[in-house]
Amino acid sequence: MIYDYLIIGAGLGGLSAGLNLTSKNKKVIILEKNSLPGGMVSTFKRGRFEFDTSLYDIYDYGDKENEGDFQKLLKKFDIAVDTTLIPFNVLIKDDTNFQWEIKGNFEDWVLNIEEVKKGSTSGIKEFIKITKEVNEAVKALERNEEVSEEEYPNFYKYLDKTAMDALKSLKIPLVSINMLSFLWVNMGVNLSKLNFIDYALFMYKMIFKKDVILNNKNLDFTLKLVKKYQSEGGKIYYNSEVIKVEEKDHLFIVKTKDNLEYKAKNIIGDIFKKYFFRDLDYTENKDIIKLENARSEGANGIVVFLGLNKSREELGLNYYKYYHYNNLNSDICVKYMSNLDHNTYEVIVPNVVNEEASPKNTCVVILKKLYFGDVFRNLNKMNYEEIKENIAQDLINKFENDFGIDILEYIEEIEIATPLTILRYSGSLNGSLFGYSKKGYDGVINRLINYQDEEIPKISFVGASSVLGSGADNAFRSGVLVTDRLLKKGDDKDE
Ligand SMILES: Cc1cc2nc3c(=O)[nH]c(=O)nc-3n(C[C@H](O)[C@H](O)[C@H](O)COP(=O)(O)OP(=O)(O)OC[C@H]3O[C@@H](n4cnc5c(N)ncnc54)[C@H](O)[C@@H]3O)c2cc1C
């Protein structure tokens, strides 16, 4: 059997690519190294708890009246998903005793900023207008349409600016910039490095398309995607790790760890390009490898999943999210974040939005701490388990002290994921939670434009490390965007 497309990896990017291609009657196979689909989007059981690994904020989904692109695509594939809108319900602190609560909607958030620093609102309102324009310009680029300077003057004005420079030029005071941008950790890049266009796109989605959570488990969602894909004739083989890709007589021969071979006319990798070239031994073209090596992986992190034997009400966990920063200024903050014991972390309490996130009278708490650089790779392997447990213990202590909530004595289940766990499970290089970092030139615009000149014909990449960057919505949308372009080019035709 010769497939039109062979997809490496059943993460959201691989699955959406598969869904799109099978809906156009292509012969498609997905090879997935794990025994389950979804990659980073998965669910695991410990005792009576079922933990979701991801999707605590689904961006670009929207609601019934105001659908985001992610929802529109799922509808296009006839996939019904049950979600709950997440209202702002956040408590923020930093090392300087700054404390700030955000509840309600974005307008309340802006009012709140104005209370702290008078004169912030006009610059923020201007910024919000610009996010709309940027979103429209990028959507036009995605459709391969012309984006003129007359029609999108602000897009051009801010194209090569960092988020920090652009916000300053809008005369927003620094303290207000920091308050407006506290979600930078969800993008994994500090404001002086983050491309403004990427920042504006993220904020546009936050403000206009809101943020939702699934009412079902991550795994139910990804299995639904697989079911639909299979119903359209798509094949998926689990426990099938691709170890080598070769090209012979205009066909790709793909070899798996269990010594099987598959033939296909096109390859789509839901993996980092760097990994494809290096570990799957594909290309001897040094220039391509050099170019790819110049890109840097995004921040990685440690994630501690806790199942607690008391309800969140009994424990006084009243916020969906708790954020603690070394400093609310992201540029100062990252300076600390290559040290194991830094003090910037995020805590999620899913039960606040979804009461059924865990059994009755219990709750789930997820603590997440990001790192920049190779902190974990350089650890002494002999002490790895001990170090990982110490970091988790320290993180729990920090949360208890910073927010005055006792959780330690109520822990019934605990699981700790480090960057090495994430690397092992999803193949994400360096355990990156954000694909390639959207620093400087490597933002969505550069990726969208350069994507048109793929270096190697018939090999494409989807997912968090590809054209739109990380996040469930981007990873999923990338699979459709990339395959739509391939189909338009007619890349599956015989030579
Ligand atoms: C802890 C955590 C929390 C997150 N929270 C959120 C959130 O709240 N909101 C949000 O939008 N995003 C979140 N994300 C990010 C989001 O989950 C990812 O950006 C997105 O799911 C990545 O999708 P992907 O298509 O790039 O594939 P991945 O999920 O990286 O999957 C790649 C797949 O390829 C497979 N694979 C790799 N190598 C091979 C090989 N050689 N052969 C065969 N198969 C292979 C892997 O097993 C995996 O299944 C979170 C991520 C993590 C880890």
Please tell me the predicted confidence (pLDDT) of residue 387. 87
10 Å CB burial of residue 98 (0-12, 13-18, 19+) is middle
**β-strand 2-8 against 28-31: which pairing, if any?**
parallel
CATH 3.40.190.10 fits 2-82+215-296+437-489, yes or no: no
pLDDT at 489 over 80: yes
Between 473 and 288, whose confidence is greater? 473
Q: Tell me the pLDDT band of 289, cut-offs 50, 70 and 90.
A: confident
pLDDT at 126 over 60: yes
pLDDT digits (tens, 9 = 90+) for 220-267: 999 999 999 999 999 999 999 999 999 998 899 999 999 999 999 999
For residues 160 and 107, the answer to whether their CB atoms sit within 8 Å is no
Pocket test for ligand 1, best of 40, 86, 304 (most atoms within 8 A of CB): 40
Query: DSSP letters along 33-89, please?
Result: SSSSS-TTS-EEEETTEEEE-S-SSEET-B-SSSB-HHHHHHHHTT----EEE--EE
Residue type, 467: V
Q: Tell me the pLDDT band of 454, cut-offs 50, 70 and 90.
A: low
CA of 38 to the centre of ligand 1 (A): 7
Report which of 122, 230, 97 is spatially closest to residue 173, judged by C-alpha positions: 122
Q: What is the radius of gyration, based on Cα positions, of the chain?
A: 22
Q: Tell me the pLDDT band of 491, cut-offs 50, 70 and 90.
A: low
Q: Tell me the pLDDT band of 452, cut-offs 50, 70 and 90.
A: low
Please tell me the predicted confidence (pLDDT) of residue 404. 97
Q: How far apart are CA 337 and CA 352, in angstroms?
A: 28
Average pLDDT over residues 192-216: 94
Lowest mean pLDDT: which of 34-38, 276-280, 322-326? 276-280
Please tell me the predicted confidence (pLDDT) of residue 416. 97
pLDDT digits (tens, 9 = 90+) for 43-98: 999 999 999 999 999 999 998 889 999 999 999 999 999 999 998 899 999 998 88
Q: How far apart are CA 17 and CA 476, in angstroms?
A: 8
Between 324 and 144, whose confidence is greater? 324
Average pLDDT over residues 188-216: 94
Q: Tell me the pLDDT band of 455, cut-offs 50, 70 and 90.
A: low
Average pLDDT over residues 139-143: 94
Axis crossing angle, helix 12-23 with helix 218-231, rounded to the nearest 10: 20
Residue whose Cα lies nearest atom 34 of ligand 1: it is 9
When the pLDDT of each residue in the chain is averaged and rounded to a whole number, the result is 93
CA of 402 to the centre of ligand 1 (A): 31
Please tell me the predicted confidence (pLDDT) of residue 453. 56
Strand ranges across the sheet with 83-85: 58-59, 211-214, 83-85
Please tell me the predicted confidence (pLDDT) of residue 451. 66
Question: What residue ranges do the domains of the chain occupy?
Answer: 2-82+215-296+437-489, 106-209, 300-372+377-417
Average pLDDT over residues 412-419: 96
pLDDT at 279 over 60: yes
CA of 464 to the centre of ligand 1 (A): 7
Between 368 and 107, whose confidence is greater? 368
Axis crossing angle, helix 472-489 with helix 69-76, rounded to the nearest 10: 60
Average pLDDT over residues 154-159: 96
The CB density around residue 313, as the number of other CB atoms within 10 Å, is 12
Angstrom CA distances, 279 to 54, 248, 428, stand at 26, 19, 13
Q: Tell me the pLDDT band of 493, cut-offs 50, 70 and 90.
A: low
Average pLDDT over residues 311-329: 97
Residue type, 416: I
Residues at CB less than 6 angstroms from ligand 1: 8-14, 31-34, 39-41, 53-59, 241-242, 270-271, 303, 422, 426-428, 433, 463-464, 470-473, 475
Please tell me the predicted confidence (pLDDT) of residue 328. 94
Q: How far apart are CA 331 and CA 246, in angstroms?
A: 44
Pocket test for ligand 1, best of 15, 20, 41, 44 (most atoms within 8 A of CB): 41
